[in-house]
Amino acid sequence: MIRLGELMMILELHRQGVSISAIARRTGRDPKTIRKYIERGVEAPVYGPRALGRPNKLAPYLEFLRERVTAFPDLTAARLTREIRELGYMGAYTAVKRFLAAIRPENGPKPFEVRFETPPGVQAQVDFARFIVDFTDEPGISRIVWLFSLVLGHSRFLFARYVMHQDLQTLLRCHMQAFETIDGVPIEILYDRMKTAVTGEDEQGHIIYNRSLLALAGHYRFVPRACRPYRAKTKGKVERPFSYIRKDFFLGRSFRNLEDLNVQLIHWLDTVANVRVHGTTQRIIADAFAAEQSELQLLPAGRFDAVLKLEAGSATMEWSLLAATITASPTAPGASSKSSNCPTRSGSSTWVRSLPSILSWRGAGNTGSILRIGQVAAAPGVVTTQRMQSPLAVSASMSLCALWRSIRRSAANWRGENGHEPWGCRVPRR
């Protein structure tokens, strides 16, 4: 068979007037072969149909792949390849990818984008993403959880944890945990306009950051930066992993509770996400992170303790609000035999006495701290009520909404009579 380059030479010699015998002598081909290709000329190549997905190896798993793609259309080819390899598949990843491309709905072309790269140790990007999960320990109940993610801009090393809230205390604690995991701190961290990071702008358009975030930044020596409004692609290195985590990890799994969700997430990060070859950098993430880690700033000698101060202030405020509806026992300082609208300042040590156990309980991820404060305070000789000996009875006989209304009324009465908030705390309003 004559290759295309040789055929083009034969046709060109024939066009120049060279005889078939001369062309045959020059090329070493039979004159009949030269004549055949001259008469045929250049023809478009014809290829037979290519079998999708190498059916000889993939055939036993085609139905499984169809079912998974039908149930979860966004599952990645890499994820499905891992699943069928656990079932015994010995073929190539490209075969699975071709088959999935054939059975998935057609998607439009994606726009071309130029990605901004940063030197090692310079930048990280932080954000939260919303997930809805049904825990098997709570059948029939859908929970909203938030995924905190920090991505190093150079190596693309990914730190992620699921949390129940995206409040300020959670944001600060996730930062601290991320810094301990990567054993260092980048020079700057990029945020979007989340309220826990950015509180607004001044008259000159300068960004005003949350004071607690600035305190955290000062302790760990990094510079917070906010991206432009409505420009999520400014921090695309942290936005893109959310879709990757959803498709490659989250979909098609079951989780008992939040702890089990994070256990599976950490295992996936260690065995899949952070050891893969990154599609953009074409480097193994773990190897790139090993090189970048030495460029990160060292961790400070002490941990950031403002988170505990924030939680202590929050717990003290809730404690004082609950105390407005109960009566101090005669053994407590400033005790009284009847209910008061708010505890006296001299009796504050009684309420603060149980704060360490309250903070420990909240630090374990529990909620409902107002009722928990009542439970902690139920120790003998600390707090009683007029008609009930345990605040657990309060929660049994009075709904949380009714308790909250009573607390707010008592706090309002205190403000009206004394001209300031109870114990100098700001009472939250709805």
DSSP states of 178-230: HHHHHTSB-SEEEE-S-TTTEEEE-TT--EEE-HHHHHHHHHHT-EEEEPPTT
The answer on 195 and 134 residing in a single domain is: yes
Structural domain includes residue 157:
yes
Structural domain includes residue 72:
yes
CATH of the domain at 212: 3.30.420.10
Model pLDDT, residue 240: 72
The answer on 273 and 195 residing in a single domain is: yes
The answer on 283 and 321 residing in a single domain is: no
Instruction: Name, in order, each residue with C-beta under 8 angstroms of 55's C-beta and a sequence gap of 6 or more.
Output: 62
Model pLDDT, residue 266: 96
Model pLDDT, residue 50: 58
**Domain assignment of residue 88, given as a range:** 55-103
The answer on 279 and 174 residing in a single domain is: yes
- The encoded tokens of residue 271 equal 């065995």
The answer on 142 and 286 residing in a single domain is: yes
Q: How far apart are CA 422 and CA 418, in angstroms?
A: 9
Structural domain includes residue 371:
yes
Domain count of the chain? Answer: 4
The answer on 66 and 36 residing in a single domain is: no
The answer on 218 and 145 residing in a single domain is: yes
Positions of E strands within 135-187:
142-152, 158-163
The answer on 145 and 65 residing in a single domain is: no
Structural domain includes residue 402:
yes
Instruction: Name, in order, each residue with C-beta under 8 angstroms of 290's C-beta and a sequence gap of 6 or more.
Output: none
pTM, two decimals, is 0.53
The answer on 252 and 374 residing in a single domain is: no
Structural domain includes residue 410:
yes
Residue 153: count other Cβ atoms within 10 Å of its Cβ: 24
> How is 360-372 classified by DSSP, letter by letter?
HHHHTT---HHHH
Count CA atoms within 13 Å of residue 344 on its CB side: 9
Instruction: Name, in order, each residue with C-beta under 8 angstroms of 338's C-beta and a sequence gap of 6 or more.
Output: 327, 386
Is residue 40 a contact partner of residue 33, using CB atoms and an 8 Å limit? Answer: no
The answer on 363 and 286 residing in a single domain is: no
The tens digit of pLDDT for each residue in 333-391 reads 443 333 333 333 334 344 344 445 544 544 555 544 444 444 444 444 333 333 333 34
The answer on 80 and 128 residing in a single domain is: no
Structural domain includes residue 118:
no
The answer on 249 and 137 residing in a single domain is: yes
Structural domain includes residue 111:
no
Phi/psi of residue 123, nearest 5 degrees: -135, 145
Structural domain includes residue 132:
yes
Instruction: Tell which of 259, 293, 327 closes a domain.
Output: 293
Q: Which of 119, 297, 314 is nearest to 219 (CA)?
A: 297
Please list the ranges in the chain whose pLDDT falls under 70. Answer: 1, 44-56, 105-116, 229-239, 306-430
